[in-house]
Amino acid sequence: MKKIETELEDCYILEPNRFGDNRGYFSPVYINQELKELGFAGLVQISRSKSSKGVLRGMHFQHNPKCQAKIVEVIKGRALDVVVDLRKNSKTYKKWTSVLLTDENNRQLYVPRGFAHGYLSLEDDTVFQYFIDNDYAPDMEGGIPYNDKSIGIDWNKIFEEYDISVPNLSEKDTNRLELTEQNIEF
């Protein structure tokens, strides 16, 4: 597996090995020592979501002690994955990055604990997969608005680039408190 640094501390693009020929490909998924060294404690849950073009899921996280690290990928379609570092002691606190994940580019993103995570589906029937290292706890769920002013993600530019007029959000994601209105500790 190839590990590529992003602009954010402890957040990496992963490119798993892929072996293929005219019949298709084979790509093993390893939860090994290399991933544990990144901070991935071990596989607890695998989740999938399916989204139409323009669905924006995020920006989500779980509070301590149920904080989660994730390895995310697209297994069908295309999505722009977006993460924000919310760890106050990090050199990249309140910084963000985005990574295009597709079923063809064979990329995953390692999202450390203490990051808000979301993605924008870029085509219909996009299937997104999460490998998660801690139990989901509804009472520990948190989030910030996708367009939180203190983060400054240029969503208008992103929507224009991918020909999305209005993002499709859940009610919960429409009503998130701004980062400055919350006390988030990681």
Which positions are annotated as active-site residues? 60, 130
Q: For residues 13 and 72, give the distance between their C-alpha atoms in angstroms, rounded to a whole number.
A: 10
Name which of 63, 10, 41 is nearest 185 in CA terms.
63
- Give SS3 for 37: helix
Burial class (CB in 10 A: 0-12, 13-18, 19+), 42: exposed
Name which of 70, 52, 50, 48 is nearest 61 in CA terms.
70
Name which of 57, 72, 63 is nearest 137 in CA terms.
63
